[in-house]
Structure 1
Amino acid sequence: MMKLHHFAAYAALSLLALVPSLSHAAGSTITVTDVIGRKVEVKAPVERVILGEGRQIYFVAALDTDAPFKRVVGWRDDFEKADLDGYKDYLAKYPHIAKLPRFGGSKEGTFDIEQAISLAPDVMIMNVEAKTATDDSKLIEKLAKVGIPVVFVDFRDKPFENTDPSMRLIGKLFGKEARAEEFIAFRNEQIDLVTKRLAGANPPKPVVMMERAAGYSDDCCMSFGNENFGKMVEIAGGINMANKIIPGTFGVVNPEQIIAANPDQVIVTGSNWELYVPGGAWVGVGAGADGAEARRRLAALMKRPAFTGVKAVKTNQVHAIWHQFYNSPYQFVAIQAMAKWLHPDLFKDLDPHRTMRTLHERFLPVAYKPGYWVSLSDKE
């Protein structure tokens, strides 16, 4: 699947030569440094972009808010599958995205290089977790031979190290540096609302079991180590139960470890995964999600043996939150939601719904629809 045939490469080069309007005669070549330290030459501002993951539209939309797909000539096929509710919102406003060329994943070996070359992109944006697969397939070298640079961003493996640099990188590629800095400032201000208050109050820290993609499969239980949602728990004033169990960003804890830790709070991630796992036990939180149905599913998940007797379940301190906070620059909203769960008295005046609404109004092209998190203790 990853083979680059001589004929296809020749055809792609011919295509690039025949379409000078796509090669940025007016643009200037700049050198950018991506999040893994690679120096990459790109003609900027870029006009034609392939997204190595469809959910990269989360950060593209924050910069190209007025026309988020104006540069996108192709994208991976994950957005609809991983975030069906969010995809439908964008599809309703931009129906042409249904016809955008789609790719399989480089990690799965289904990325079509010949198709990518035929689209004559100025740059391809890849997530850092795809680096091993791109190295194995020599994807970067193959694309370089036909003048297509690749840059890596990261909102997933080490988001609290790489989100700001990733946004600055895309801002530079898009010619939207000021917009990127505006977003970064907003993000950091919203995180500071939590961290500064916690630093002043220094409250006791509850133990939190953070379950990744609960109900996606029958297995129990995927979780997070010292990054991503695991670090969000720490920033929000909690103790991540799995921090000392999982050495990296992602891993697994077993039911006995959960029972022994007896967490004060349980937070699971979820999304509308009907296209991935039809009729699954996952909690479908996200844009406009049905809160009552999400709570029903969340309560059902707490009947698994790992959770039935723990403190969090007995005291109803059980929550579900949108999984895609883990792979977007919007993590600050999740931090605020978790801070209210972990320290309700300290953060009575903090309104993560208002923060999410402001994010949409200032930076995103689609309207805010509540539904991104629920708690078993919710009254409505």
Structure 2
Amino acid sequence: MGIRMSFLWRAAALALAVVLVPAQAAITVVDLAGRSVTLPDKVERIILGEGRMLSALAVLEGSALPGRVVGMLEDFERLDPTGYELYRQRFPALQQVARLGRGGASFSVEEAISLKPDVAIFSLRGHGPDVNDAATLGRLQAAGISVVYVDFTKNPLEDTARSIELLGRVLGREAQAKAYLGWHRLEMDKVQSRLARVKQRPTVFLESRVGLVPGCCETLTHGMMGLFVEAAGGRNIAASLVPGVHGTVSLEFLLKEQPEVYIGTGIGNPASLAKGAASIALGAGVDASAAADSLARSLRRTGMAQLQAVRSGRAHAVWHHFNYLASNPAALQAMAKWLHPALFADVDPQATLADFYRRFQPIPLTGTYWTSLP
């Protein structure tokens, strides 16, 4: 009897000890949509709402890219084929990553679920499923997939750092995220600290995706690269006319307002140049002379030569895809230097971009990412 009771007491004590051992706390993060998201214990399989996220993911994953990526959209290879090719050459395994569609409307929820991802990483807005796509969110959550929203386009200058910090927690790459955040603060401060004492801001017109469609003139204001104008110390002349993120203004408006500085965003490539398009060629695979020539040619469009900014040689272009890149402080520095050349005479945006690639990208820096009229 004594032996039996002793055994029962030991069994009860063991059971109690098991109960009292604290369970491993679930990791909960707050994403860029303000949602609390509980993550699985291990994040080993992820899908990307946009393929362009690979460049941001590389900040954290480095040479381990794309080991955890099991699915993504085709936007990266479609919108920036030369840049994507650099990643493909460095990581041939990208060819085996499932493609979930070309854009948001073609995103295949069924295939996404079949890949059994632990986490889906989507954008607040962009080319893939966004924060307004409640149906896709609901179906993925019902399948047990955690969904987190990041932002590299809606408010890139502020949300890029927040998104990298979030992804660092999601992927268990906090140290890599911390290193990037330190770099980001340092490079942003080179602009923000100096502009605090600037009183005169030149007027700027930002033309978006120059040459994509005939005519004039698509612009960005309260979002994407439209936000770079104010942050770089300029005054966006279309801000009061275009209340949203993007819109179109007339050539007559530009000729009447006469901005002091013109900045176009370039999405062209060597192939479009061969066809004689008016697009501005920038990005990987574009040399400096081709970029400058393409800007000059784009400004030969009707009426552009009559702009004060063009006549005074204050016409420039910057790569449109800085809308989506963690290297965007370099583009901000370039724009600040155009708007306030004396104030930023000692700032070297090209060195900033090279430093970003050296520290945070597993591919080399090649090509031209901004240009000016000679």
- The TM-score range, normalised by the shorter chain, is 0.7 to 0.9
Give the drift of 1:316. 1.9
| Residue in 1 that maps onto 2:12 | none
2:164 aligned with 1:175: no
Give the drift of 1:173. 0.4
Deviations 1:232-259 (A, max 9, x none): 1111111112211111222222212211
Counterparts of 1:169 and 1:120, CA distance in 2: 22
Change (3 A) 1:167 1:278: farther
Counterparts of 2:52 and 2:172, CA distance in 1: 21
2:343 aligned with 1:346: yes
- The number of aligned residues is 347
TM-score by length of 1: 0.86
Q: Is the 8 A contact 1:82 1:273 kept in 2?
A: no
Aligned with residue 140 of structure 1, among 119, 124, 137: 137
Q: Is the 8 A contact 1:353 1:370 kept in 2?
A: no
Give the drift of 1:310. 0.8
Q: Is the 8 A contact 2:73 2:103 kept in 1?
A: no
Which structure 2 residues correspond to residues 57-136 of structure 1 after superposition, within 5 A?
57-105=54-102, 107=104, 109-129=105-125, 130-131=129-130, 134-135=133-134
Deviations 1:21-54 (A, max 9, x none): xxxxxx9742221111111222144111111001
| Residue in 2 that maps onto 1:233 | 229
Q: Is the 8 A contact 2:49 2:121 kept in 1?
A: yes
Aligned with residue 245 of structure 1, among 238, 241, 245: 241
**Deviates most, 317-326 or 300-309:** 300-309
Counterparts of 1:31 and 1:276, CA distance in 2: 46
Aligned with residue 257 of structure 1, among 253, 259, 270: 253
Counterparts of 1:253 and 1:60, CA distance in 2: 36
**Deviates most, 115-124 or 249-258:** 249-258
Give the drift of 1:277. 11
User: Helix, strand or coil: the match of 2:305?
Assistant: coil
Larger RCO, structures 1/2 (Cα 8 Å, 6+ apart): 1
Which structure 2 residues correspond to residues 1-380 of structure 1 after superposition, within 5 A?
29-105=26-102, 107=104, 109-129=105-125, 130-131=129-130, 134-135=133-134, 138-200=135-197, 202=198, 204-272=200-268, 279=275, 280-377=277-374
Give the drift of 1:119. 1.1
Percent identity of paired positions between Structure 1 and Structure 2: 37
User: Helix, strand or coil: the match of 1:64?
Assistant: helix
**Deviates most, 282-291 or 184-193:** 282-291
Q: Is the 8 A contact 1:81 1:275 kept in 2?
A: no
Give the drift of 1:142. 1.0
CA RMSD of aligned residues (A): 2.1
| Residue in 2 that maps onto 1:15 | none
Give the drift of 1:330. 2.0
Counterparts of 1:273 and 1:47, CA distance in 2: 36
Change (3 A) 1:122 1:28: farther
* Residue identity in the other structure for 1:227: G
User: Helix, strand or coil: the match of 1:126?
Assistant: strand
| Structure 1 consecutive aligned stretches of length 4 or more whose deviation exceeds 6 Å | 274-278
Change (3 A) 1:40 1:106: farther
Structure 2, unpaired ranges of 5+: 1-23
Deviations 1:306-326 (A, max 9, x none): 422111111121111111111
Change (3 A) 1:132 1:166: closer
Change (3 A) 1:367 1:106: closer
Change (3 A) 1:197 1:300: same
Q: Is the 8 A contact 1:28 1:43 kept in 2?
A: no
User: Helix, strand or coil: the match of 1:54?
Assistant: coil
Give the drift of 1:204. 2.6
TM-score by length of 2: 0.87
Q: Is the 8 A contact 1:223 1:252 kept in 2?
A: yes
Q: Is the 8 A contact 1:269 1:320 kept in 2?
A: yes
